[in-house]
Amino acid sequence: MRHGKKVNHLGRTAPHRKAMLSNMAASLIKSKRIVTTVAKAKALRVYVEPLITKSKDDSTHNRRTVFAYLRDKDAIKELFGAVSEKVASRPGGYTRILKLGNRMGDNAEMAMIELVDFNEFFEGFGKEKAAAKKTTRRSRSRAKGTTEAAEVA
């Protein structure tokens, strides 16, 4: 029975899983979005979100704690620099998982995981819709009725 076992092992040993998640987290922080399987994306979300929360408070202790997980100086600089500035006001939910379909070779479910505040498409999405709703179009029948009434008068 698997009572209380919430960690997805991803078919790997513990050191392999830790190394894989560390590399994927560093890649996500550097490039802001990566494509992987759905199971790995969900495991990565659990792994990387506490690290992003720690990056909000830039202290030596937090930097060392995050470095123990990531082992990548460039990723640490990016995380405590640009990423922490963007997510400073966000209380959580720093990543988004978008399902892409199945992989050609083995039919595995693929997904794209990305940092929410770094996607330009979704940032302006709601604003464009609101602006589009403000403009109203009159139907042709009304336009004809008003022009005929103007001609008669």
Return the closest-CA partner of residue 118 out of 150, 79, 70, 69.
Answer: 79
- Fold category of 14-118 in CATH: 50s Ribosomal Protein L17; Chain: A, (3.90.1030)
- The domain segmentation of the chain, as residue ranges, is 14-118
Give the tens place of pLDDT for each residue, 77-101. 999 999 999 999 999 999 999 999 9
What pLDDT score does 121 carry? 77
d(CA 24, CA 47): 10
pTM of the full structure: 0.78
* Bridging pattern class, strands 109-115 and 95-102: antiparallel
Find the farthest-apart pair of alpha carbons in the chain and give their distance in angstroms, rounded: 86
Judge contact between 102 and 54, C-beta under 8 A.
no
pLDDT in tens, 6-55: 999 999 999 999 999 999 999 999 999 999 999 999 999 999 999 999 99
How far is residue 153's CA from residue 137's CA, in Å, rounded to a whole number?
Answer: 25
Q: Which pLDDT tens digit goes with each residue over 97-149?
A: 999 999 999 999 999 999 999 987 776 666 655 555 666 677 776 655 555 55
Whether residue 79 contacts residue 115, with contact meaning beta carbons closer than 8 Å, is answered with no
Residue-wise burial string across 89-115, b where 16 or more C-beta atoms lie within 10 A, e elsewhere: eeeeebbbeeeeeeeeeeeeebbebbb
Mean pLDDT, rounded, of the chain = 89
